[in-house]
Amino acid sequence: MTEYRITHKNGDQYPVRNIYCVGRNYAGHARELENPLLKEPVFFQKGLTCLTTEDRIKLPSDRTIHHEIELVILISRPGEGITADNAMDHIGGFALGLDLTDRKLQNELKEGKLPWFLSKSFKNSAVVSTFFQPDMGNWSEMFWLKINGNVVQKGQMDDMEFDIPFLIEFLSSRIPLLEGDIVFTGTPEGVGTVEKGDVLELGLGESVLKTVRFR
């Protein structure tokens, strides 16, 4: 059985168990897709085989794929019923990631009031950088996405509708979290299509954490 692993900057490797994602966690993104803001977080999942840490990614040839840059957190200590006050004790690292989305299919599924799992789950649709220490001070800096040298998305942790400790509290009150679970925490406004040949840079502050080339 293939084991999907992510790497921490300190050299530790974690087998990934689940990929959770938060929707509509930035007001600007909700507005640009004409979605209402929510009173509680909404979660969905990506299949484990969607995960990639590669730097060269093949796009599906028959779909319109949108980029969504996100802060991603690594659960390094399992738990359920975790309180917001203790949430950081369960986080082993932060990364930047891309929640790639088949937007046309997602809209069709939404119109039919159907689950949109397949619009989010396809090969290489969950891209993550190396994970770094969970220093909330550093990770409160602006994170951004460039395509071919142009900034197309940027956001900050402070812009989230639901902050990370609350997300951990909320999710772990519904389902136990396992060591190796990762959580995509939502995307800021500015989503759009990616094309073959595009070069994407995922950055935090002045640093580029990952470069992805689409083919």
Q: Cα–Cα–Cα angle for 137, 43, 34, nearest 5°?
A: 95
Q: Which residues contact 174 (CB under 8 A, 6 or more apart)?
A: none
DSSP 55: S
Beta-sheet strands, E only, within 76-114? 91-99, 101-102
Q: Which residues contact 207 (CB under 8 A, 6 or more apart)?
A: none
Domain ranges in the chain are 5-214
pLDDT tens per residue, range 165-205: 999 999 999 999 999 999 999 999 999 999 999 999 999 99
pLDDT at 130: 94
Distance spanning both ends of the chain, measured CA to CA: 28
pLDDT at 32: 67
Positions of the chain with pLDDT under 70: 1-2, 28-37, 134, 136-137
pLDDT at 28: 65
Topology of the domain covering 5-214 = Fumarylacetoacetate hydrolase; domain 2 (3.90.850)
Q: How far apart are CA 58 and CA 54, in angstroms?
A: 10
pLDDT at 190: 93
pLDDT at 139: 77
